[in-house]
Amino acid sequence: MVVCLGGGGGGCSADAGRDAPAWARGMATVQADRLPAEARKTLRRIDDGGPFPYEKDGAVFGNFERELPRQKRGYYREYTVRTPGERDRGARRIVTGGGGEIYYTDDHYASFKAVLR
């Protein structure tokens, strides 16, 4: 099941088509401007190189769930997306790949959407 973010249905696709970058093809997608405000803020911090509010931001993401394409260890990095009302890091993350890929999860790595800019 694909859940679109941002209402109106224009923000995501169940299967990225030919217009999507190769790394996003076959995945659910979301336009960056349709992400929750907290995720957009995390993206800006990533773009700016920090500062990051959580100690684990920028840590290696192991991809143990194998939801993302297999890469060698260290290829993926994860960043916390603040969840209002949560006392801990919550379930939302942005994961970046060494080739410029950006993924978003709001269910603690059970599924990902390719973030398109």
Q: How far is it between the farthest Cα atoms of the chain?
A: 41
- Catalytic residue, from 38, 78, 86, 101: name it: 78
Helix (H), strand (E) at residue 47: helix 37-48
Q: Does residue 88 contact residue 102 with C-beta atoms inside 8 Å?
A: no
Between CA 38 and CA 61 the distance in angstroms is 20
Residue 38 is a catalytic residue: no
Q: Are 5 and 12 in contact (CB under 8 A)?
A: yes
Q: Nearest to residue 16, comparing CAs of 5, 3, 25, 7?
A: 25
Q: Exactly one of 55, 67, 86, 108 is catalytic; which is it?
A: 108
Active site residue 78: yes
Q: Which residues are identified as catalytic?
A: 78, 108
